[in-house]
Amino acid sequence: MNQSLTFLGIESSCDDTAAAVVRWSDAGAEVLSSVVEGQAALHAPFGGVVPEIAARAHAERLDHAVEAALAQAGVPLAGLDGIAVTAGPGLIGGLLSGQMLARGLSAATGVPLISVNHLAGHALTPRLTDGIGFPYLMLLVSGGHCQFLAVEGPDQFRRLGSTIDDAPGEAFDKIAKLLALPQPGGPHVEREAALGDPKRFAFPRPLLDRPGCDLSFSGLKTAVLRARDEVIAQNGGLTVQDRRDLCAGFQAAVADVLAEKTRRALAAFPAPVLAVAGGVAANVVLRERLQVAAAQAGARFLAPPLRLCTDNGAMIAWAGIERHRAALPPEGGMAARSRWPLDESAAPLIGHGRRGAKA
């Protein structure tokens, strides 16, 4: 039977206002359009994402993003088989903007609404881009998340390890901030690091001395801050080379930790594929180290194109299609959830807060 499903995906959990149309058929999956309006310029003066500004920008721009995505795909609202929307985890104001728009569109057209977990969107992306089968190991390294997921089905995610404090992207951004580099800091820190000496500062490799795949980046950030202050106290300021060496030392520590924890995750879950997602996966040095770790374990390394690795609507549309195809409950009546772990059975993490694990 010749089957096809066309879904709209709406994403507004953090600082990207995104909408996309994805079509799945017997021939494979196709991203018909993907509109992402980043808010980096709005948040840059504050050195981080400001939830109220994000919520307002989503409310103002989401309908335009949806309109553009439908127009670029050449698909009318009535031509959709489903509307998938991120219900969490994320910033509640943005999530509510997306949910309200999606509910309104669904109510007006009768097109079914499917609520999607943002992390499921990231985790299922390698199936959209490369058509791989289950199982595989997913490493999510972004500005808000860091976890290893054993992906065994469209709704079967086992968390093997996770950060117990900061996400790596957050750490890159904080290092950039304390070295007066622009935001978002990741690419700037990488550029400086390429010109620095990674051995000059002996930064810690957090949690390598403990078994398992959990990660931590907060202590590393403090170590860089201390080293910076020591150099300033001794020399009265930072030279260009000091800054490069600090970046190089920091990045080398992150790379060592991620490579070793990936090795452990692949040993615990010997999957045929290691896939990465998240903005930090853009880092060439990190990518190379992960590739080596995968090769050593006999696994294929897969990094979807960056525009589908960072926050986007296509991954949400695709996660909706996956739920639909697997006849999973649409979770359409679900309210927005700022905290929504993919693996609800995983033990809560240190620093997860009083209301339970965030992601």
d(CA 114, CA 82) in angstroms, rounded, equals 7
**Judged by CB under 6 A, does residue 311 bind ligand AMP?**
yes
Task: Provide the mask over 170-209, with x wherever binding to ligand AMP is found by CB under 6 A and - wherever it is not.
Answer: --xx----------xxxx--x-------------------
User: For ligand AMP, which stretch binds (CB under 6 A), given 18-26, 102-110, 165-173, 290-298?
Assistant: 165-173
Q: How far is the CB of 190 from Mg ion (least distance, A)?
A: 17
Tell me which residues in 223-252 interact with ligand AMP (CB under 6 A): none
Tell me which residues in 257-316 interact with Mg ion (CB under 5 A): 311
User: Among 169, 304, 313, 341, which residue interacts with ligand AMP (rule: CB under 6 A)?
Assistant: 169
| Residue type at position 161 | G
**Judged by CB under 6 A, does residue 89 bind ligand AMP?**
no
Q: Considering beta carbons, is residue 16 or 214 the nearer one to Mg ion?
A: 16
Query: Using CB distances below 5 to 8 A depending on partner kind, what does residue 250 bind out of ligand AMP, Mg ion, none?
Result: none
Query: How many binding residues for ligand AMP (CB under 6 A)?
Result: 18
Q: Structure tokens of 359?
A: 């992601």
Q: How far is the CB of 45 from ligand AMP (least distance, A)?
A: 16
Q: Considering beta carbons, is residue 103 or 177 the nearer one to ligand AMP?
A: 177
Tell me which residues in 4-23 interact with Mg ion (CB under 5 A): 16
User: For ligand AMP, which stretch binds (CB under 6 A), given 124-132, 141-149, 326-334, 342-350?
Assistant: 141-149
Instruction: Identify the CA nearest to 317 among candidates 112, 110, 132.
Output: 112
d(CA 340, CA 159) in angstroms, rounded, equals 13
Query: Using CB distances below 5 to 8 A depending on partner kind, what does residue 185 bind out of ligand AMP, Mg ion, none?
Result: ligand AMP
d(CA 282, CA 263) in angstroms, rounded, equals 20
**Judged by CB under 6 A, does residue 320 bind ligand AMP?**
no
Residue 344 CB partners (closer than 8 Å, separation 6+): none
User: For ligand AMP, which stretch binds (CB under 6 A), given 44-52, 77-85, 156-164, 279-287?
Assistant: 279-287
Query: Using CB distances below 5 to 8 A depending on partner kind, what does residue 33 bind out of Mg ion, ligand AMP, none?
Result: none
User: Among 279, 304, 313, 341, which residue interacts with ligand AMP (rule: CB under 6 A)?
Assistant: 279
**Judged by CB under 6 A, does residue 93 bind ligand AMP?**
no
What HEC string does the chain produce?
CCCEEEEEEEECCCCEEEEEEEEEECCEEEEEEEEEEECHHHHHHHCCCCHHHHHHHHHHHHHHHHHHHHHHHCCCHHHCCEEEEEEECCCHHHHHHHHHHHHHHHHHHCCCEEEEEHHHHHHHHHHHHHCCCCCEEEEEECCCCEEEEEEEECCEEEEEEEECCCCHHHHHHHHHHHCCCCCCCHHHHHHHHCCCCCCCCCCCCCCCCCCCCCECCHHHHHHHHHHHHHHHHHHCCCCHHHHHHHHHHHHHHHHHHHHHHHHHHHHHCCCCEEEEECHHHHCHHHHHHHHHHHHHCCCEEECCCHHHHCCCCHHHHHHHHHHHHCCCCCCCCCCCCCCCCCCCCCCCCCCCCCCCCCC
Q: How far is the CB of 237 from ligand AMP (least distance, A)?
A: 25
Q: Considering beta carbons, is residue 177 or 200 the nearer one to ligand AMP?
A: 177
User: For ligand AMP, which stretch binds (CB under 6 A), given 51-59, 65-73, 194-202, 277-285?
Assistant: 277-285
Query: Using CB distances below 5 to 8 A depending on partner kind, what does residue 169 bind out of Mg ion, ligand AMP, none?
Result: ligand AMP
Instruction: Give the binding site for Mg ion (CB under 5 A).
Output: 16, 311
Instruction: Give the binding site for ligand AMP (CB under 6 A).
Output: 142-144, 169, 172-173, 184-187, 190, 278-280, 282-283, 310-311
